Structure formats: C-alpha cells, structure tokens
Amino acid sequence: MDIQAGAGALALLVVLWVTGCAYNHKQFPTIVPSSTAPDDFVIQVDDYGQFWDQSMPNRALERISELSQTSNVIVILFVHGWNHDAAPDNQNLRDFAASVADTRRRLIDSSNPESAVYRQSRKVLTGTESLSVVSVYVGWRGRSLPGFLNYATFWGRKAAAERVGGGDLREFLSRLNALYREKRNLRASGTTQLFMGLTSFGHSFGGQVLFRSVAYEIENELLAQKAKTDTSRESDEVTDLIGFGDLVVLVNPAFEALQFERIWRLSTELKFGRQQNPVMLVVSSAGDVPRQVLFPIGRNLDALFLRPDFRPGQRALWTQALGEHEPLRTHAIEIVPESSQLTPGFDPSLYTSDPCAIENLDLTNLPAIAGVRLTPTENHRSNNPFVIAHASVSVVLDHSTVFEETLRKFLNDYIAITQGKRMLTARSSLECM
C-alpha cells in the first residue's frame, strides 16, 4: 500500500510538472474590462521574455507620441504579480482598469471637485488643462497551475519574472523612457510647454519584472554620475539623477534586497541636492505575511541546495525581500487622520508665484500627503532618490493589496507633486538658492 501511495504521489507530481509546462502559456484576448478609452493597452509577454504580439507595444508607443504633440500626457504602466495574468476576467486587470478610470476622473473630469487642484496646476505649468491618460497593463504568466496548486510554483514564477524583465519588455521600457526624456528636454528648452508624465508600478513578482527591466538604466546613470563626481575638483558636487520616468513604484516587491543593494551602495557615494526628485518608491505592508515568512523560506531553501556559501552580510540580503531588510528602509508610512490635503496649505499658484518653494521641497520629508505621512527612519538622507518605506496595515493591508483607496490617493497626490517639481526643475532658466 505504501509503495502504491508513493507511486501515486510521484505520478501526480509528474502530471503537475508536465501540465504546468503548458498551463496558461498563451496569448489572451487583449480586452480592457469596462474601458471606453482608446488609450488603454494590454501588452503580453511569454515565459521566455518575448512579446506575444510585437505590434501592441509599437502601437502604444506610437499613440503616446501622437498624443504628446498636442496635449499633456500621463502614462501609467502596471506589471502584475504572482497568481495573475492578462485574462479579461483577471482581478488585477479589472482593478487596474478601474483605477485608471478613477485617475482620469480625479485629474480631468471638470464635474468632479477633486480635479480642480490638478487642472489649475496644469494650467499654471503648461498653459492648458488638456490631459490624456494612457494606461499600459503588462501581462505575463504569473499563474502557471490551476487554483491553489499555483502556490507551489514559487521558484518557477520567480525565475520567469526575471526572464520577463530581461527580455523584450526591457527594450520597450527603454524606448518609452527615451520618449519621456525627449519630451522632457523639449519642455526644458522652451520648445513646448506640454509635458509627458510616466509612472510605472510593479506588484509582488511584477516588482521583480519591473525592477529587472529598469535597474540597468538607473544603475548606468548612477555610474555615470559617480565617474563625473570622481573627476570633478568640486568636493561638494551635487548629483541630478533623472531615473526612469517620473517615478518607479514597487508595492510589496518579491525579490531579494541583494538585487537592490548595488544601486543603494552607489547612491550613498553621491550627494543629492534640493532639486533631486524621487526616482523609486518601494512600499511594503506590515501585514505582508508571504514576503515576511514564505519568501525567506523559499530563498533559504534555494540557498541550501543551489548557492555557494555566503560572505558576511549576504545571507540577510539574499533571503529578505526588498523592504523587509531593515538596514535599507528609509521611511515608515502611517495614517494622519487630521490631514487630508495634498500637503498642508498647498496652493498650485506656488508654481508661478514662488517656483523655488516647489523646487526646494524635500519630497522625502513632507508633513502629509492625502492623509498619509512618510516618517523618516535613521537610514533617511535628505532628497534621497530612493525611498524604501514600510507601511502600516491601515495604508496597505496585506500582500495582495495594491489598489486599495488609501494607497491610491496617497500615490496619486505624491506622484502629482513629484511631476510638478520635475517640470520646474527641468527648466534651465530656473535658479534657486
């Protein structure tokens, strides 16, 4: 009987292994739920890092470029995590579509009182309230087995996330960032007042995908700035790091802190001034049990069988997810019930009446944003372009929470003021003390 049971279990494992190789590895219909906008794109990547349909990312880039000729444009890109994909009924895709619709309502809809501050800011900064919001949902094979069986795919899906981030998507995001920088330079030179905004989000293993795709550009920029500083005779040389788009946001990212450590180390060797904007914001939930418990188990098992011995300090970086490794945390995030404003007393007229007040804002140390406060830790450095924040459960409930209202409002307002500061600091004519 024991032999039969063992044979049955082995047969089940073989069946799961064989079927898992093919399950859900397909292109889904590119449908954005409940969307009436022509500017919502679903881009799908296979398990080998190649696009299922190369025409879709090309169409997205062409559309963004076309809109940016006559209107302000904001691009919102989202990469989902484990247990999700690009199926039309996928909950992440539905939630992302609803979030984009809410963003359009908050930023554009004149019948919504909330939009007034954003429309006024755009009018002041660009001369027009016009705005087009383009969304890009990046789908990959986050679900590779049906139902609860997918929870046994940790190693396979993490490896797939690394391949997805290092394949065609990296090239697409590089082209998207090049377009963003081109529009930024045109505005900075005074050729146009219009702006292009770009914010990218990655959740869970989607954070691994996104980080893998953009880290190379960010690291190269840090290295270039370090080389410039090393050859400068000025000991107080101030670095201006542009990064990828306006902001890269990683929510409960499921990858090792060790992957980020090199960027962190390079950034600590540079000095950032008051003009520096945030480049990356990591938000980790205090209620994220999978990353606090399951992730270290998975990484320790991986280290036990597949990795050489660690050097001092490496094990903690390898086995803890970014955001859970305390020496790299720069902030805590908590609710501030008495404050519901963008920032206390914030007035969009400051963009013209006192632009230096905006330029000199340290966005790593603001009093409150949308009822949420970023509280610096002992690892905080003023104007640090990398914000690694640990959030209370009142802000981010658990691992799967990525579209909850409190977090969305905080991110909307934080990104809005970041974009406003970027538009001002890009001007070569602005000189502030």
> In the chain, what percentage of residues exceed pLDDT 90?
53
Count of CA atoms in the C-beta half-sphere (13 A) of 289 = 0
Q: From CA 424, how far away is CA 275, in angstroms rounded?
A: 9
Mean pLDDT of the chain: 86
pLDDT of residue 381: 92
Which parts of 306-427 are beta strand (E)?
331-335, 372-376, 386-391
**pLDDT mean over 140-155:** 74
Question: Percentage of residues in the chain with pLDDT exceeding 70?
Answer: 86
- Write out pLDDT tens, residues 222-281: 999 988 888 776 656 677 899 999 999 999 999 999 999 999 999 999 999 888 999 999
Q: What angle do CA 167, 258, 140 make, to 5 degrees?
A: 30
Beta carbons within 8 Å of 213's beta carbon, 6+ residues apart:
165, 166, 169, 170, 173
Tens digit of each residue's pLDDT (9 = 90 or more) over 93-108: 999 999 999 999 989 9
Mind spelling out the 3-state secondary structure of 172-235?
HHHHHHHHHHHHHHHHHCCCCCCCEEEEEEEECHHHHHHHHHHHHHHHHHHHHHHHHHHHCCCC
Q: What is the pLDDT of residues 69-91, one digit of tens each?
A: 999 999 999 999 988 999 999 99
What average pLDDT does range 45-67 have in this prediction?
Answer: 96
Question: How many CA atoms lie less than 13 Å away from 38 in the CB half-sphere?
Answer: 6
Q: Which two tokens stand for residue 230?
A: 């090393």
pLDDT tens sequence across 182-238: 999 999 888 999 999 999 999 999 999 999 999 999 999 999 998 888 877 665 667
pLDDT for residue 18: 42
More confident call, 168 vs 142? 168
Question: What's the half-sphere exposure (Cβ side, CA atoms, 13 Å) at 230?
Answer: 8
**Residues 6 or more apart in contact with residue 45 via CB below 8 angstroms:** 51, 52, 138, 139, 140, 164, 167, 168, 169
Quote the tokens at residue 35. 């969307």
Span 113-133, average pLDDT: 89
* The pLDDT of residue 339: 54
CA dist 23 → 16, 87, 371 (Å) = 10, 13, 43
Band of pLDDT at residue 341, cut at 50, 70 and 90: low
Model confidence band, residue 342 (pLDDT cutoffs 50, 70, 90): low
Query: Residue 317 in contact with residue 257, Cβ under 8 Å?
Result: yes
Say which range, 28-37, 278-287, 378-387, 406-415, has the weakest mean pLDDT: 28-37
